[in-house]
Amino acid sequence: MKSQADHVQALLGTTGEQVHSAAQAFQQGGLRRELRKFRSLAPGATLIGALLTLGHPVPQDAPTRELPGQMVVALTDRRLLFYTQGGTGIAKAKKLVHEVDRADVVGLEQPDLVEGVLKVLRAGVLTRDGTVLRFEFGRVAIAEGTRMLEELGRDLRNT
């Protein structure tokens, strides 16, 4: 079975760009909205994690970029990519809707792990133009999402 990274690599073709990681993600709050369609959720998830940032501080009131409700986020050696989600049965990257050069990522919110009925890892990426990209990884994508965010964090520490 192909991984998310394999699907994105196939979409990129022979550009020479290498996918480092890819995972299914949602707009922040999107996973909860999707699951409400199927069942009622228990309230009161607890938030853990620090509010530290890497790179430039990420202002809470910064403008945000509208991202698809369900998406695939991929990190390559050159860019951070956001794809609509397609596929039947298995989610996979479909259409590129937003991209950010890695050099244009100037801040990264400390990821917040939200425990509860739904376990999600929330992330915020500040771009050079002052826009914040906010998204979250569901339970099955937390490990891959963590690797992706750690790699972006290493980029920021090295600049």
Of residues 47 and 54, more confidently modeled: 54
In whole angstroms, how far apart are CA 93 and each of 44, 105, 116?
A: 32, 22, 28
> Left if phi > 0, otherwise alpha if psi is -120 to 50, otherwise beta: which for 86?
beta
95: confidence class by pLDDT, cuts 50, 70, 90: very high
Domains and CATH numbers, the chain: 4-157 (2.30.29.30)
- Residue 3, pLDDT > 50, answer yes
